Amino acid sequence: MNVLREETYTELRHRLRTPLTHIVGYSALLMEGDEADQEMKASLSTVNEQAESILERVGFWLGADSDVREDRMAGLRREITQPLTVIIRTVGALAQRANGAALLDVLRIGRACTELLTFVYRQGGPGGGKTPLSLARPVARESATGTEVRVLVIDDNPVSLDMLARQLQGYGYSAACVESGPAGLHALDDDRYDLVLLDVMMPGLGGVDVLKQIRAKPNLADIPVIMISALDEVESAAQCIELGAEDYLLKPPDPVLLRARLHSALERKRLEAERWQRTRDLEKATEALKRANEDLESFASIASHDLQEPLRTVSNTLQLFAANAANLPEEQRQLVELAVDGAKRMSRLISGLLAYSVSDGASENLTNVDCEAALLEAITNVREAIKDAGAQITHTELPVVKAHPGGMVRLFQNLLANAIKYRSDKRPVIRITAERDGAEWVISVEDNGIGIDKRFQRHIFQPFRRLHGQERPGTGLGLAICERIVRKSGGRIWVDSEPDEGSVFHFTALPAEPSPAAEYQPAVPVR
């Protein structure tokens, strides 16, 4: 009993499946077209069914896990003779009825039957007696819809090329066909294609090697490659997918499945291109934002020096003029006082803009900050306002959190100043507390001031949003600075308040990194 070599067996399976896929493919094309009437379609359906039956027998007798022996070849020949005879008789009848392009496809089916007959009646080993096909090579077709989606088909079999090109044309794609791996690589180097259909088994440079070379070239790395093969071997499919193939289809590809896989591959490529473009746009936007922040810091420097200096000159001159304006009429004295007050407010506004611009420190500069030490330093900074208002300030134990150096002092300072500024007729009482909430600390600053109407609570953290006009001093930037400091530390800030019942400002902060002490401790005032 003769056992065949594995290489010969693989070639034989490929050789048998190739003409069968041609029979199935062309019969399906004819059934989908308009040339065939109902009687012809019924005959073509018979051809298709018998070819599928032979494919099943090939898979049974030449299974990948079976010993390949000559007696199996004999069994296969016996079982495919009857369905092959049915196909040949049906094709002969179809040839009498068909004409034009349909007749050419029927003759192609007949030629595929000849390939199978060579196997059934040949004598000797399975590797001999190969009869090459000699059909005309198809030319590239333009898309029926005019959409410039270009597909490169690489297959050494001109019949397979013709069938795939016609299917692609029906889907509205433009197909270019080449008959070898080197020709395919040359075509990819010379022109742009949106997708590649690549045959696995080709003489010389096979499909797997072509796939490796495509994936090795940076300019082709993103092009989808769908492998097509007459062999249904799991190992081959797995190898192709591992090497970067988009998909693996058996010949002849089911029209619905092929169209779906083509659409899926092209859609993924489109989405990937959009994602890449969005990434590039985001990088450009980030760079532009970085430059804008640098420009803002530069402006802040100018505001703190070049703008303040001439304003200081104007303010000092007005104050001197006001000091010697006792003999001026009342109306003129009031005008001078308005000018002095305006200069002071302008100075405060410039200082506020400077503080607002530098409050947006980079989040990567966060470090461990002792909130209790930061609060004590903030109290020191506003001690005159506390003394003038007679404010009482208490606090519970406060945590060490991740924050921007100096930002926590500014945050407490602004919230304390805000509580004192918007006090009621009662003595200001301010209490600072901290409570752990899951992965965050919630720190609260509570006062007994005039409160805030709910209609305005979501606007008070916006720059220049003031609720009391000139009734109370300020620039409208204090709470906006607080919001920036908290946001850049990865937290959030909000307020709970009712008119005439005081306000509670809450902000969250992340706990400090595990450490026995804070890395940054503001100076604690000496009592």
Hey, CA dihedral for 383, 388, 394, 395, is it positive or negative? negative
Output the pLDDT for position 465.
53
CATH 3.40.30.10 fits 150-253, yes or no: no
Tell me the backbone φ, ψ of residue 117, rounded to 5 degrees.
-60, -35
pLDDT tens for residues 326-357? Answer: 777 888 777 877 787 777 766 666 665 566 55
Q: Which residue, among 11, 21, 72, has the nearest Cα to 48 in the 3D structure?
A: 21
Structural contact between residues 510 and 401, judged by C-beta atoms closer than 8 angstroms: yes
Segments in the chain below pLDDT 70: 1-10, 63-69, 120-147, 232, 296-297, 299-309, 345-365, 463-476, 514-527
The pLDDT tens digits for 182-192 are 999 999 998 88
Quick one: which of 329, 500, 315, 506 has its CA closest to 423?
A: 500
CATH superfamily of 6-121: Alpha-catenin/vinculin-like (1.20.120.230)
Paired residues of 175 in beta bridges? 141, 151
Contact 176, 153 (CB under 8 A): yes
Helices (H), 62-150: 70-97, 100-121
Please state the pTM of the whole predicted model: 0.42
Distance between CA 47 and CA 93 in Å, rounded?
Answer: 11
Query: What per-residue confidence (pLDDT) applies to 9?
Result: 61
Enclosing H/E stretch for 320: helix 308-323
* Confidence (pLDDT) at 403: 87
Domain residue ranges of the chain, discontinuous segments joined by +: 6-121, 150-253, 282-358, 362-509
pLDDT, position 358: 56
How, if at all, do strands 174-178 and 150-154 pair? parallel
User: Which residue is associated with the tokens 């007959």?
Assistant: 117
**Gap between the Cα atoms of 27 and 29, Å rounded:** 5
Q: How many CB atoms lie within 10 A of CB 44?
A: 26
What residues contact residue 98 under an 8 Å CB cut-off, 6+ apart?
A: 35, 36, 40, 105, 106
For the domain spanning 362-509, the CATH number is: 3.30.565.10
Spatial CB neighbours of 246, under 8 Å, sequence gap ≥ 6:
224, 225, 226, 261, 265, 268
Closest C-alpha to 116, from 93, 91, 84: 84
